Amino acid sequence: MIEALNGQTENLTADVLIIGGGTAGCMAAVEIKENNPELDVLIVEKADIERSGCLAAGMNAINLYLHPGETPDSFVKFARREAVGVLREDLVHSLAKEVNNVVHRVEGWGLPILKDEDGTPAKRGRWNLKIMGERLKPIIAEAAETSGARILNRVNVISLLKEGGRVVGASGLGVRDGKFYSITAKATIVTTGGASGIYRPNNPGSAHHKIWYSPFNTGAGYAMGLRAGAEMTSFEMRFVALRTKDSIAPTGTLALGYNAPQVNAKGERYMQKRFSGVGGEGAPTCYRVYGPIREIQEGRGPCYMDTTHLDDKQVKNLKTDYLNMYPDLVLYWAANHIDPATEPIELGATEPYIVGGHCQSGYWIDVGRRTTTPGLYAAGDVAGGAPYKFVSGCWAEAVIAARSAVEDIEGQPMPQVSEHYTTGLRESAIRPFCHWEMRGDGILPAEMEERLQKVMDEYAGGASVFYELNDERLDRCLEQLDRLKEQQEFLAARDPHELMLAHEVIDRILVAEAVTRHLLHRKETRWPGFQTRLDYPKRDDTNWLKFVNSRLDPTTEIFEMVERPMVDLETLEGAPVSMGWPG
């Protein structure tokens, strides 16, 4: 073990390096190899691409698909309302143009899509179609493997390599042997997903990973981008998901698939009663979680999805849907004597997550999915500005990023990095392990994670404070995060797995700081439930119909904030979105 950690560096090269072999990363690899089979594509994945990323358990629906009569424009209009006005219409439009193609491509690889009698995909809501997706991730992983891309499993990327202002690859550690990898590449696509575990989970102790978003998506891509000077957007638009209480399974299946309305403890349909002005049951996503939060705060909880109109056959279908996506919910019902036909299903709001697929937190990118740092591309949950893209939109973005990378690297030489530089990165990467070896003591990653989550929950609007925010508590949060950052030198890791966990908590702390600074900056309440300001309770379209962006200053490593104007298709007219940092 120690020999491995003290061992040699493995130097690799690739034409295109893909960081993260989840659903977007695998799709990007396939697209590149189909465009140009000669290119050497390498996916680096910290787990194994077979089931890694968000889709380990499967999916029962594709939630972005243009059924007959819908267009990219009609989806942009829908997404604009869902996002309460702030979004990158250029990004949403460009992925909507690709989305049906990628869905049928995955169908061709073997994904069963349920069809109506006339052969068109069966609708489950305006933008949704039903799939039998238990094997969705293995199907995509197999396509990546057969594409000819090389796959390096069980290597956790920690840092992007930079040379002359360009990203030229990445470095990381083997999660089982601690071996150091330095990978140079002409183009690097980051597809690491979003971040869970920033806030204290609602379920305690032994169930702390009973959360909706993958607990293994730790914000690594955001953190490595920030450290490389890339600009990020919209970290203040947190995703607080409306889910079945305790079991944390998605409720869209109940609402869209089985017409189950939200009701409170008094039997009132509160979305219709109190939120008809913003659309009732059809209100933007943030209001559909803000509704039950407020009912509970005001003494009308618990809240439920009313499923008692379902017959036995529908309940069987409902269980089938969950077995394809959240099988443990069916176990939860069996264990707790819950029959959806005779009792409504209790709702809960989750701990906040930071994601680019449901919300729009992530890299600030151009329409080709190029980040503000040359050589680096982003797609999927790690890419910002395009909310409501979900799984199929992540595929579409991966395809777009892949095409840009292929185009940009033509005629480019393989970059070089100095041994001195990578030696420094390795020393920094293995520091928590060396700390344990020398001292036999220190702060374990699980301890630091628990403290981070406590701080964020209490001061930056977690579930225990009904997700509510004000300036003074956010300032206090930053003070606490500064202390955590200072304490990172005492992080200790006893084996390579724990060394991975140490880097995950380091990444989460940086993401938490970005989230807090974004929350502080937006002096209005744009997305109630996701971002409820007690000190600025109203939406302010005059001053805040715009993006809050940030980056780490490359020399001082201090956060800088900038506001960017709304990007709508009418005003864009082919002019590129500003990618340069002002001043």
Residues that bind other proteins (CB under 8 A): 46-48, 50-53, 56-57, 107, 110-112, 132, 134-135, 139, 154, 175-176, 203-211, 214-216, 246-247, 316, 319-320, 323-324, 327-328, 330-332, 334-337, 497, 500
**CA distances, 324 to each of 22, 132, 318 (Å):** 18, 6, 10
Both structure tokens of 283: 């209100």
Read off φ and ψ for residue 295, nearest 5 degrees.
-55, -45
**CA distances, 481 to each of 233, 326, 560 (Å):** 20, 34, 17
In angstroms, what is the minimal distance from the CB of 254 to other proteins?
Answer: 18
- CA–CA gap between residue 286 and residue 294 (Å, rounded): 12
Q: Which is nearer to other proteins, 302 or 327 (CB)?
A: 327
Q: Which is nearer to other proteins, 215 or 279 (CB)?
A: 215
- CA–CA gap between residue 119 and residue 109 (Å, rounded): 18
Q: Which is nearer to other proteins, 82 or 107 (CB)?
A: 107
Q: Which is nearer to other proteins, 54 or 359 (CB)?
A: 54
Q: Which is nearer to other proteins, 156 or 234 (CB)?
A: 156
Q: Which is nearer to other proteins, 21 or 284 (CB)?
A: 21
In angstroms, what is the minimal distance from the CB of 494 to other proteins?
Answer: 12
In angstroms, what is the minimal distance from the CB of 507 to other proteins?
Answer: 16
In angstroms, what is the minimal distance from the CB of 48 to other proteins?
Answer: 5
Length of the chain: 583
In angstroms, what is the minimal distance from the CB of 431 to other proteins?
Answer: 21
Helix (H) or strand (E) holding 188: strand 180-190
Q: Which is nearer to other proteins, 50 or 268 (CB)?
A: 50
Contacts of 278 (CB under 8 A, 6+ apart): 284, 287
In angstroms, what is the minimal distance from the CB of 36 to other proteins?
Answer: 28
In angstroms, what is the minimal distance from the CB of 501 to other proteins?
Answer: 9
Q: Which is nearer to other proteins, 79 or 241 (CB)?
A: 241
In angstroms, what is the minimal distance from the CB of 55 to other proteins?
Answer: 9
Contacts of 444 (CB under 8 A, 6+ apart): 491, 492, 493, 494, 498
Q: Which is nearer to other proteins, 239 or 388 (CB)?
A: 239
Q: Which is nearer to other proteins, 52 or 392 (CB)?
A: 52
In angstroms, what is the minimal distance from the CB of 327 to other proteins?
Answer: 5
- CA–CA gap between residue 422 and residue 419 (Å, rounded): 5
One-letter amino acid of 88: R
In angstroms, what is the minimal distance from the CB of 389 to other proteins?
Answer: 21
- Tell me which DSSP letter residue 35 carries: H
Grouping H, G, I as helix, E, B as strand and the rest as coil, residue 272 is: helix
In angstroms, what is the minimal distance from the CB of 334 to other proteins?
Answer: 4
**Owner of token pair 């920094």:** 428
In angstroms, what is the minimal distance from the CB of 58 to other proteins?
Answer: 8
Read off φ and ψ for residue 263, nearest 5 degrees.
-130, 150
One-letter amino acid of 217: N
Q: Which is nearer to other proteins, 77 or 208 (CB)?
A: 208
Both structure tokens of 567: 């990007």
Q: Which is nearer to other proteins, 131 or 226 (CB)?
A: 131
Grouping H, G, I as helix, E, B as strand and the rest as coil, residue 119 is: coil
Q: Which is nearer to other proteins, 403 or 508 (CB)?
A: 508
CB 386 within 8 A of CB 401: no
CB 237 within 8 A of CB 360: yes
In angstroms, what is the minimal distance from the CB of 197 to other proteins?
Answer: 11
**CA distances, 492 to each of 106, 377, 444 (Å):** 43, 33, 5
- Considering only CA atoms, which of 441, 246, 481 is closest in space to residue 346? 246
> Contacts by 554-558 with C-beta closer than 8 Å and gap 24+?
554/229, 557/227
Q: Which is nearer to other proteins, 304 or 322 (CB)?
A: 322
Angle of helix 23-35 relative to helix 390-408, nearest 10 degrees, comes to 40
- CA–CA gap between residue 574 and residue 366 (Å, rounded): 12
Grouping H, G, I as helix, E, B as strand and the rest as coil, residue 107 is: helix
Helices within 388-534 (DSSP H only): 390-408, 419-429, 431-439, 445-459, 471-487, 496-521
In angstroms, what is the minimal distance from the CB of 11 to other proteins?
Answer: 24
- CA–CA gap between residue 231 and residue 379 (Å, rounded): 15
- CA–CA gap between residue 251 and residue 259 (Å, rounded): 11
> Contacts by 557-563 with C-beta closer than 8 Å and gap 24+?
557/227, 559/513, 559/514, 559/517, 561/517, 561/518, 561/521, 562/231
